[in-house]
Amino acid sequence: ISDPDWWRGAVIYQIYPRSFQDSNADGIGDLSGIIHRLPHVASLGVDAIWLSPFYTSPMLDFGYDVSNYRDVDPMFGSIGDFDALVERAHDLGIRVIVDLVISHSSDQHPWFKESRSSRDNPRAGWYVWADAKPDGSPPNNWLSIFGGPAWEWDGQRMQYYLHNFLSQQPDLNFHNPDVRKALLDVTRFWLDKGVDGFRMDTVNFYFCDAELRDNPPLPDASRSDKIAPSVNPYNFQDHHYDKNRPENLEFLKEFRLLLNEYDAVTSVGEVGDAQRGGEIQAAYTSGGDKLHMAYDFDLLSNEFPTGERVQAAIAKSVGLGPDSWPCWAYSNHDVVRHASRWNLSDPAQRVYMALLLSLRGTVCLYQGEELGLTEAYIAFEDLQDPYGKRFWPRFKGRDGCRTPMPWNSDLSNGGFSDGKPWLPVAMEHIHSAVETQDADAKSILVFYRRMIEFRRAHRALLKGRQLPVEADQSYISFIREHDNARVFCAFNLSDEDRGVTMPDGAWRIDRAAPFRAEEDGDAVTLPPWQALFAVVG
């Protein structure tokens, strides 16, 4: 359990606690519910879970607005429940990664309440406060990702404060050494509780420009709507001064030294940057003295992942340098579920899943992905996400991927809750329930398990280098190589037969993989949406 490199090649299962399993019929998932469902997680063969926030919070951004960094929100349970969860997970061989949301706190955090009370209290400088311009307007042109200016006027201090997200999520002032110390202490608190790593929310937003300089406009050509919709004016600015500041890297070195005091702990940073992602990721992960991994956004995009696009993403990650280790995901709690985003049929989902599990890197699976869930439709009356409410109807928000897990075929709530769920369980998800798929040897769930097991059986797939062979619109092949072990991987991303050009050498198709490849003498053909894995010797 103390392999310091366990995270390289690991499969991490992301749990969104509100929507996993409710244990007390209030319609909201909780930690006891997660404990109850850990055997399902273990059955997948994953290495770790990443828990989205469960800390005390007014829940305006559903936990990404923390009002106490050292406690569990009563809605989710108690700190004792958390301890029990870690113990149970570890017993099952599952490591626990928690979400660290320290770029901003809730406006209900005692630190912020004190900070806003006057200009000379002990925590006056803990958040980013600035005077209005002479005409009363905000200090500069920075925008909030969730809409409007990044500055909110406070009538008591007669100053503006900075918020990159909701106005109820004020940005902590990392330029203040007491703030940095307090946040490292929070980190130590969770390390002492035995967590195995951190997913670091908005890690490149920690520091802002000390001089609060205006962001330049972004030339049309480099605008991107990879994650957020282009209806959001935030995407028309070059975020040069409100994020990606060089001071972030210095802080992360300090952070890493703290992690290094503990055994086999990892970190994966949400280093989002639509314009210069690769460059930023390299800076955050190089040298082995900052983040362990950068969470890669390339495959979370709306753009269909053709063989060429996947090859480009791999090439970029390799180009980041020898120490750099990517962390891939197709789905999470912020984006449209990939089955819908890319409009994948059942067989297409299977081949894409196998491709994800064959890439050099660590993989994050999002709850429900293993069931092949599609994006749920949420009516405006049911909408909960503040981001969605702001940009409706051009952008419908993030609720469609946050609906509760279907556990059984119970038509009311699929076994998620005995009460009224905070978001409706999607009726079309009920037939994909865990219990139903468990009993069906041909289900996508069983397929996921087999593919994860196949990956685990091949060290080259876990840790190996990745050598490109071929890539085009509807096909990709490459070799994974670790020491003497080599695996040739080929994926037919189309609904037509595809001839496979095997690389030189004595390759033997590994039939343990849950796919079909046809051999006729030397000619190898992949039927539609099939993959092939071959080993040497």
Smallest separation (angstroms) from ligand TEU to the CB of 232: 9
Residue 30's binding partner among ligand TEU, Ca ion, none (Cβ under 5 to 8 angstroms by kind) is Ca ion
Cα–Cα dist 168/36, whole Å: 33
Based on the shown chain and the rule CB under 6 A, indicate whether residue 61 belongs to the binding site for ligand TEU. Answer: yes
Do the beta carbons of residue 292 and residue 325 sit within 8 Å? Answer: yes
- Residues numbered 189 to 218 that lie near ligand TEU (CB under 6 A) are 201-202
Query: Of 273, 357, 327, which Cα lies nearest the Cα of 45?
Result: 357
Based on the shown chain and the rule CB under 6 A, indicate whether residue 171 belongs to the binding site for ligand TEU. Answer: no
Nearer to ligand TEU, 139 or 272 (CB): 272
- Longest CA–CA separation in the chain, Å: 82
Task: Point out which span in 4-12, 29-37, 90-98, 520-528 binds Ca ion (CB under 5 A).
Answer: 29-37
Smallest separation (angstroms) from ligand TEU to the CB of 53: 9
Residue 247's binding partner among Ca ion, ligand TEU, none (Cβ under 5 to 8 angstroms by kind) is none
Smallest separation (angstroms) from ligand TEU to the CB of 57: 11
Based on the shown chain and the rule CB under 5 A, indicate whether residue 28 belongs to the binding site for Ca ion. Answer: yes
CB atoms within 10 A of CB 249: 19
Based on the shown chain and the rule CB under 6 A, indicate whether residue 232 belongs to the binding site for ligand TEU. Answer: no
Nearer to ligand TEU, 282 or 329 (CB): 329
Q: Which two tokens stand for residue 43?
A: 């059955």
What contacts 98, CB < 8 A, 6 or more positions away? 50, 51, 190, 195, 197, 198, 199
Query: Of 56, 203, 66, 181, which Cα lies nearest the Cα of 126?
Result: 181
Question: H-type helices in 45-109, by residue range?
Answer: 79-91
Run of H or E residues at 316? helix 307-319
Active site residue 201: yes
Based on the shown chain and the rule CB under 5 A, indicate whether residue 81 belongs to the binding site for Ca ion. Answer: no
Residue 101's binding partner among Ca ion, ligand TEU, none (Cβ under 5 to 8 angstroms by kind) is ligand TEU
Based on the shown chain and the rule CB under 5 A, indicate whether residue 24 belongs to the binding site for Ca ion. Answer: yes
Do the beta carbons of residue 280 and residue 271 sit within 8 Å? Answer: yes
Residue 24's binding partner among ligand TEU, Ca ion, none (Cβ under 5 to 8 angstroms by kind) is Ca ion
Nearer to ligand TEU, 42 or 60 (CB): 60
C-beta contacts of 384-391 below 8 A and 24+ residues apart: 384/62, 384/422, 384/423, 385/62, 386/60, 386/61, 386/146, 386/166, 387/145, 387/146, 387/147, 390/146, 390/147, 391/147, 391/229, 391/231, 391/232
Cα–Cα dist 403/378, whole Å: 9
Residue in 81, 107, 201, 273 annotated catalytic:
201
Do the beta carbons of residue 195 and residue 86 sit within 8 Å? Answer: yes
Query: Of 59, 61, 63, 17, which Cα lies nearest the Cα of 41?
Result: 17
Residue 86's binding partner among ligand TEU, Ca ion, none (Cβ under 5 to 8 angstroms by kind) is none
Based on the shown chain and the rule CB under 5 A, indicate whether residue 22 belongs to the binding site for Ca ion. Answer: yes
With CB under 6 A as the contact rule, the residue among 239, 398, 429, 458 that binds ligand TEU is: 398
Active site residue 261: yes
Q: Which two tokens stand for residue 438?
A: 């468990």
Nearer to Ca ion, 31 or 444 (CB): 31
Do the beta carbons of residue 457 and residue 485 sit within 8 Å? Answer: no
Smallest separation (angstroms) from Ca ion to the CB of 41: 18
Residue 129's binding partner among ligand TEU, Ca ion, none (Cβ under 5 to 8 angstroms by kind) is none
Nearer to ligand TEU, 32 or 105 (CB): 105
Cα–Cα dist 471/480, whole Å: 15
Task: Point out which span in 28-36, 64-72, 377-385, 513-521 binds Ca ion (CB under 5 A).
Answer: 28-36
Query: Of 476, 202, 465, which Cα lies nearest the Cα of 317?
Result: 465
Residue 20's binding partner among Ca ion, ligand TEU, none (Cβ under 5 to 8 angstroms by kind) is none
Residue 26's binding partner among ligand TEU, Ca ion, none (Cβ under 5 to 8 angstroms by kind) is Ca ion
Site string for ligand TEU, 340-379 (x = CB under 6 A): ----------------------------------------
Run of H or E residues at 338? helix 338-341
With CB under 6 A as the contact rule, the residue among 20, 50, 55, 64 that binds ligand TEU is: 64
The total number of residues shown for the chain amounts to 537
Residue in 3, 135, 220, 261 annotated catalytic:
261
Smallest separation (angstroms) from ligand TEU to the CB of 52: 8
Nearer to ligand TEU, 228 or 259 (CB): 228
- Residues numbered 401 to 440 that lie near ligand TEU (CB under 6 A) are none
β-strand partners of 526: 498
What phi, psi does 133 have (nearest 5°)?
-70, 165
Q: If you ran DSSP here, which 8-state letter would residue 54 be given? A: -
Residue 150's binding partner among ligand TEU, Ca ion, none (Cβ under 5 to 8 angstroms by kind) is none
Nearer to ligand TEU, 278 or 397 (CB): 397
Smallest separation (angstroms) from ligand TEU to the CB of 536: 41
Query: Of 280, 278, 268, 329, which Cα lies nearest the Cα of 7?
Result: 268
Site of interaction with Ca ion (CB under 5 A): 22, 24, 26, 28, 30
User: So which residues are the catalytic ones?
Assistant: 201, 261
Site of interaction with ligand TEU (CB under 6 A): 61, 64, 101, 145, 165, 201-202, 227-228, 270, 272, 333-334, 398
